Amino acid sequence: MCGIAGYVGDEQARGIIIDGLKRLEYRGYDSAGIAVAGGGGLQIRKAVGRIDNLEKLIAEEPVKGSTGIGHTRWATHGEPTWANAHPHTDQEGGIAVVHNGIIENYAEIRAWLKEEHGVEFRSETDTEVIAQLIGLMYKGDLLEAVFEAVSKLRGAYAIGAVCAGEPDRIVAVRNDAPLIVGLGENCNFLASDIPAMLKYCRSIYFIENSETVLITKDDVTIFNAKREEVKRDIYHVTMDADAAEKGGHDHFMIKEIYEQPQGIMKTIERRMDGGGRIKLDGIKLGKGELGAIDRVYIVACGTAYHAGLVGKYAIERFAGIPVEVDIASEFRYRSPFVNKKTLFICISQSGETLDTLMALREAKKRGARVLSIVNVVGSSVARESDDVFYTWAGPEIAVASTKAFTTQMMCLYLLALYMAGETGALDSGRFQSLMDELKQVPEKISEILAREDEIEKIAKRIYKKENIFFIGRGLDASVAFEGALKLKEISYIHAFAIAAGELKHGTIALIDMDTLVIALASQDALNEKIISNIKEVKARGAEVISLVKDGNAKIAGESDDTIYIPACMDEVAPIMAIVPLQLLAYHIAKLRGCDIDKPKNLAKSVTVE
Ligand code: AGP
């Protein structure tokens, strides 16, 4: 998500704005910029990459003025480049705008401005359309121009605007993207989130949807959609800056676990149209293209690889197309059977994992078509792929991947269903029931999150264990691998995952008195099989915690403790089943006093082979 910071007062704006943007770095970004209005007119400074790059630029080319706005950009429309970085200006350079959100009708406004008013655009962004529109409407009153321009916009947006001719004010608008105003002494602040201004003030106004606010150093005036002035209660912020960055959570990991319902909704909402059809962001994977493919490879690392295991199941089961899944670091040393008839799907949250990138390049060299499932817009994997299917999970800061995993799986389900629709492999009734099931996932995950206390109780009982086994069959095996990885990487417990049917082929020798086994049992079709595995390990003295769907008393009766998930179709159970395991890993690590967001030896993106 992007970040917005603004200041109007007696001090120089630049330092205060940069400081505010730094407090929003947790939102993830790929470029930053500021616009300052003052004696020297409207001065713009932008830089790609970290905020430090922007600071260096400002040190070399200072800006002067006590009114300004700043922005950290998380790319949605257009690559992370200098031209696409905010602020954007109108063509006269008298209006500067920063923006969070998406303008749905930006293309038609852009065409209208270009054709009817000869506006020459300098970026690919929807934000520049706002700046150009305000510039067109400007007749000497910034507030009026913003009212007029915003009346033509559709979408979710938080906007900040400054003007060379009115260097004592900021005008801002909120519609579905958060915006707050901070009230200081002889100064006022604008921000997309509380942390940006906590150092300077703790009295704030929350701006509501369809409201416009005029900010000067002495006054803040809020207007509703009818342009009537409205009164607003002052909210007094009590949380500390660090907690505010995590949305009140103790760690980024738990914040991101809780963001999964909204993340998955974002993954779905762009891809399911009202008619129950799936849209693939323009990716051409129709009957013709699928007819030209004789093999699908899914290649990734770590958590993304585990999502790939679920993707294999979904594509084979829904679309009837054979799929091979491979670990990226192994793939290219296997002289894989890849050629121009191969669809190579690579999955990567960061889009910078070198193992995955090298596997992608190997596949391209052999003629494969590359479709990547990525979270970071404009990342290396995204740029080097033929097609990109973004997860839209929003920035994932914690090293342990959570919302990226569930949104990756959602992307794979959508892809598999789309392919099934094209190949006719599913009858319409089954297709529709699977679509309906996917739509219920966000709500069911919210239900699981509401049961966090039950998970915490189990964590309190087992957090001192040094060895824990995860077992499962079919799709549950994939979830077992991911559940074990979560626990390993943040609690440093030796967590071992194995396909339950494999136990008897050697590993069961390790099971003895008080060995703890977590048995994934979400697959109704495999219930009898997993029950026999539970009996096998219990016969050797193991303690078993099973994870089952609500109402599965049979397996609960075989277990020492049970974790429940809402009833759902076997096929989509992995998206639900992993959530209690994420929470379990989190609470165990917390009880063990581990550095949850930055575990030892790990990096968020592994850019070495
Ligand atoms: C996940 O919890 C791990 N941090 C790690 O396995 C990660 O999934 C792997 O390094 C792949 O990263 P990527 O998705 O950014 O390519």
155-212 tens-digit pLDDT: 889 999 999 999 999 999 999 788 999 999 999 999 998 889 988 999 999 999 899 9
pLDDT tens-digit map of 212-222: 999 999 999 99
- Nearest-atom number in ligand 1 for the CA of 302 is 6
Smallest CA separation from ligand 1 atom 4, residue: 400
Spacing, Cα 541 to ligand 1 middle (Å)? 35
Q: What is the pLDDT of residue 223?
A: 98
C-alpha–C-alpha distance, residues 437 and 406, integer Å: 15
pLDDT tens-digit map of 5-36: 999 999 999 999 999 999 888 767 889 999 99
Query: Which CATH superfamily includes the segment(s) 452-591?
Result: Glucose-6-phosphate isomerase like protein; domain 1 (3.40.50.10490)
Q: Which of 306, 347, 401, 606 to mutate to test the pocket of ligand 1 (most atoms within 8 A of CB)?
A: 401
Strand order in the sheet with 561-565: 494-499, 467-472, 516-521, 543-549, 561-565
The yes-or-no verdict on residue 608 having pLDDT over 70 is: no
Q: Where are the beta strands (DSSP E) in 17-176?
A: 31-38, 41-48, 67-73, 88-89, 95-103, 155-163, 170-175
Residue 604 falls in the annotated catalytic set: yes
Spacing, Cα 399 to ligand 1 middle (Å)? 8
What does 187-234 look like in DSSP terms, one character per residue? -EEEESSGGGTTTT-SEEEEPPTTEEEEE-SS-EEEE-TTS-EE--PP
Q: What is the pLDDT of residue 320?
A: 92
Q: Which of 260, 301, 306, 357 to mutate to test the pocket of ligand 1 (most atoms within 8 A of CB)?
A: 301
Spacing, Cα 223 to ligand 1 middle (Å)? 45
pLDDT tens-digit map of 411-466: 999 999 999 999 899 999 999 999 999 999 999 999 999 999 999 999 999 999 99
Q: What is the pLDDT of residue 258?
A: 97
Q: Residues 375-385: what's their mean pLDDT? A: 85
The yes-or-no verdict on residue 607 having pLDDT over 70 is: no
Spacing, Cα 288 to ligand 1 middle (Å)? 33
SS (H, E, C) 258-326: HCHHHHHHHHHHCCECCCCCECCCCCCCCHHHHHCCCEEEEEECHHHHHHHHHHHHHHHHHHCCCEEEE
Average pLDDT, the chain: 93
pLDDT tens-digit map of 388-405: 999 999 888 899 999 999
Q: Which of 372, 405, 594, 606 to mutate to test the pocket of ligand 1 (most atoms within 8 A of CB)?
A: 606
Q: What is the pLDDT of residue 606?
A: 72
Q: What is the pLDDT of residue 398?
A: 92
pLDDT tens-digit map of 319-371: 999 999 999 999 989 989 999 999 999 999 989 898 999 999 999 999 999 99
Residues whose beta carbon lies within 6 Å of some atom of ligand 1: 301-304, 348-350, 353, 356, 399-401, 489, 605-606
At 100 the three-state DSSP class reads strand
pLDDT tens-digit map of 51-73: 999 999 999 999 999 999 999 98
Smallest CA separation from ligand 1 atom 10, residue: 302
Going from N- to C-terminal start, the domains of the chain cover 3-238, 245-449, 452-591
C-alpha–C-alpha distance, residues 253 and 297, integer Å: 30
Please determine whether the domains at 3-238 and 245-449 fall in the same fold group of CATH.
Answer: no
Query: Which CATH superfamily includes the segment(s) 245-449?
Result: Glucose-6-phosphate isomerase like protein; domain 1 (3.40.50.10490)
Smallest CA separation from ligand 1 atom 6, residue: 302
The yes-or-no verdict on residue 230 having pLDDT over 90 is: yes
The yes-or-no verdict on residue 483 having pLDDT over 80 is: yes
CATH 3.40.50.2300 is right for the domain spanning 3-238: no
pLDDT tens-digit map of 547-606: 999 999 999 999 999 999 999 999 999 999 999 999 999 999 999 999 898 887 777 777
Q: Residues 97-112: what's their mean pLDDT? A: 93
- Nearest-atom number in ligand 1 for the CA of 381 is 16
Spacing, Cα 107 to ligand 1 middle (Å)? 35
pLDDT tens-digit map of 495-550: 999 999 999 999 999 999 989 999 999 999 999 999 999 999 999 999 999 999 99
Spacing, Cα 173 to ligand 1 middle (Å)? 37
The yes-or-no verdict on residue 378 having pLDDT over 80 is: no
Q: What is the pLDDT of residue 311?
A: 98
Smallest CA separation from ligand 1 atom 8, residue: 303
C-alpha–C-alpha distance, residues 174 and 262, integer Å: 20
Q: What is the pLDDT of residue 76?
A: 67
- Nearest-atom number in ligand 1 for the CA of 303 is 8
